[in-house]
Structure 1
Amino acid sequence: MMPVDRSFLLRADEGAGPRVGMLLVHGLGGTPVEMKSLARSLRDAGTTVLACQLAGHCGTADDLRATRWEDWHASVEDGLARLEAECDIVVVGGLSMGGLLAARLAWAHPARVAGLVMLAPTLWYDGWSIPWYSFLLKLLIDTPVGQRFEFAERPPYGVKDERIRRLVLAAMQRGDSGNAGLLATPSQVIRQMWSLAALVKRILPAIRQPALLVHARQDDIAGLSNTLHLQRHLGGRVDVLVLEDSYHLVTVDRQRGLVSRRVAGFLEGLRDEAARPQPALVA
């Protein structure tokens, strides 16, 4: 049985100026539901939003294990084409590993993607909750032990807000992957993420669209070093927001409202730039 499609499209009321669309990409083993609060806020601020579901996600671990990062990227490509039919300007943004897919899409389509938003971007796992021995997985990945290994979610599950954390954990423990993602990620899937991250690190200087990076100082999964690396190596203008009261899942945690406002402001700036008259060329 194929996973239920949790993708959703929220259309904004048409106003003056260019129609702006935002493609949102969830994280590895995650679900579009983790983007819902942000999507609603952006829609209310005048942006049409499509939150796409990545191939193999919102189902079982075997569903996810059967995919490669190229399959996830194909889902993002489909989302871009769908949103282009609705909007004049498209910006792509992603959470965690979804931010890497967003960056890869911006690199592949510089004329079609006007801006990039990376939320808790994850090039490597170095947050404070990651076990010190996690580096051994790279050494053991091709052994029978490594093939059977699963990267289990650990407290605090990316969420600082205790009430929200309890809700997320309860859904994961029920096996409700469509709403809360998987409780454990197979090692083969982690390996695909490593391959994607290695590619994205190589192409960063060629990504020249304006970018907004949002990262929690206390991120439990991916340390602030990830955003500092991106800030240094992306090829275009980069704005950074560092959150002081959040963990990894910045779209659902305590400062989700601040995240929404900052992303909305970033989109408004791109809309204003697109609406500004261009100087005439002198023959």
Structure 2
Amino acid sequence: MEDRALQYPVLKDAQPFYFEGSHVGILVSHGFTGSTQSMLPLGRAYAEAGYTVCGPRLKGHGTHYEDMEQSNYQDWVASVEEGYQWLKERCDTIYVTGLSMGGTLTLYLAEKYPEIKGIIPINAAVEIPEMEPLKDAAEPRFLDAIGSDIKKEGVLELAYEKTPVQSVKEILKLMEEVKDQLDRITCPAFIFVSEEDHVVPPLNSQLIFERISSEDKELFYMSDSYHVATLDHDQEAIIENTLAFIQRQLGKS
């Protein structure tokens, strides 16, 4: 299959972002069909607090949904691992945060790299029952968009207008792999969950909280945001609580 990525330039506001700061780094991952636009306000806030920040663009994202259709979950893992390596070259302490599938990838990294000092999943996904019937579906090729589940009026997420069914099959594989190994996570965790989410059932975060082996873990409920909480009313609460969580962890080390 030809590589259509060359035909689709990266959209404005979907570029990866990098901020160099202290020896403490934060990896910031966007979600499924979304882009770095959903995480940039957080990235900027963490950089202003003095941290080194990396916000990778997941392969197949931020261009065109046909581009995403050709990427698989290993490609998305490789995208965050590349960002993680970039941080490791500059930092000796690394935290990871992510929205939606970015939260799933956050969990994946914590399972694979026990040296990660802490994780901050935001409406992370490990099981979405509505997607399950598509596991073996041959048709249709594309579904409706799932982006911009935001309560705050006038705010839009830079996300695809269609969702490739092939990509749904890939996230199902990723979620299953991550869910099966949640008990491998031992680092401190601060888990954000929207009480009302029309994309990822909030019970996902409860399941994550219960299954990870971390002794230091907290579940923080957001009452005024939908799925894309990083662009919603609770954006400041996410930023403030994340910075406080990291400060607490740094104080213990």
What is the TM-score of this pair, normalised by structure 2?
0.90
Q: CA deviation at 1:31?
A: 0.7
| Alignment equivalent of 1:164, drawn from 147, 155, 167 | 155
The structure 1 residue matched to 2:34, chosen from 30, 34, 47, is 30
SS of 2:80's equivalent in the other structure is helix
Matched, 1:153 2:146: yes
Number of the residue aligned with 1:265? 244
- Cross-structure match for 2:201: 223
Structure 2 residue identity aligned to 1:152: A
Q: Distance in 1 between matches of 2:139 and 2:52?
A: 46
CA distance in 2, matches of 1:194, 1:213: 21
After superposition, the Cα gap between the structure-2 partners of 1:183 and 1:82, relative to the gap in structure 1 and judged at 3 Å, is same
Q: CA RMSD in A?
A: 1.7
Secondary structure at 2:68's aligned position in 1? helix
Give the total of aligned pairs: 243
- 2:191 matched to which residue of 1? 213
Q: Paired residue for 2:175? A: 197
| Structure 1: distance between partners of 2:117 and 2:137 | 43
1:183 to 161, 166, 170: 161
Please say if residues 77 and 105 of structure 2, whose CA atoms lie closer than 8 Å, have aligned partners that are also in contact. yes
3-state secondary structure, aligned to 1:28: coil
Q: CA deviation at 1:143?
A: 4.3
Pick one of 96, 112, 123 that aligns with 2:126: 123
Structure 1's 138 and 230: CA in aligned 2 closer, same or farther, altered over 3 A?
Answer: closer
The one-letter code of the counterpart of 1:8 is: F
Please give the secondary structure, in 2, of the residue aligned with 1:222. Answer: coil
In the alignment, which residue of structure 1 is the partner of 2:86? 82
Find the aligned partners of 1:235 and 1:34 in 2 and give their Cα distance: 29
Partner of 1:39: 43
Aligned to 1:52: 56
Q: Which residue of 2 aligns with 1:176?
A: none
Verify: 1:92 aligned to 2:96, yes or no: yes
Equivalent of 2:18, from 9, 14, 30?
9
Instruction: Check whether the contact 2:134–2:169 (CA below 8 A) recurs between aligned residues.
Output: no
Shift in Å at residue 268 of structure 1? Answer: 1.0
* Counterpart selection for 1:110 from 114, 122, 138: 114
Contact 1:42 1:264 in 2 (8 A): yes
> Residues 3 and 56 of structure 1 are in contact (CA less than 8 Å); yes or no, is this contact kept in structure 2?
no
Residue 9 of structure 1 aligns with an amino acid whose one-letter code is Y
C-alpha displacement at 1:141, in angstroms?
4.7
SS of the residue 1:196 aligns to: helix
Aligned to 1:62: 66
Name the CA shift for 1:271/1:201 in 2 (closer, same or farther; >3 Å).
same
Contact 2:124 2:200 in 1 (8 A): yes
Q: Does structure 1 residue 246 correspond to structure 2 residue 249?
A: no
Given the superposition, is the C-alpha separation of residues 93 and 140 from structure 1 closer, same or farther in structure 2, using an over 3 Å criterion?
Answer: closer
Deviation at 1:55, TM superposition (A): 0.9
Q: Distance in 2 between matches of 1:198 and 1:262?
A: 29
Structure 2: gaps of 5 or more residues: 1-5
The answer as to whether partners of 1:39 and 1:49 remain within 8 angstroms in 2 is: yes
1:140–1:272: structure 2 CA closer, same or farther, 3 Å change rule?
closer
The amino acid that maps onto 2:152 is D
Rounded Cα–Cα distance in structure 1 between residues aligned with 2:29 and 2:65: 19
Structure 1 counterpart SS, 2:44: helix
User: Which structure ranks higher in relative contact order (CA pairs < 8 Å, sequence separation ≥ 6)?
Assistant: 1
CA distance in 1, matches of 2:52, 2:202: 30
- The question of whether the paired residues in 1 share the 8 Å contact of 2:142 and 2:162 is answered with no
Confirm or deny: 8 A CA contact 1:3 1:57 kept in the other structure. Answer: no
**Cα-to-partner distance string for 1:21-63 (whole Å, 9 max, x where unaligned):** 0001100111111111111111222221110111111111111
- The separation in 1 between residues aligned to 2:169 and 2:145, in whole angstroms, is 15
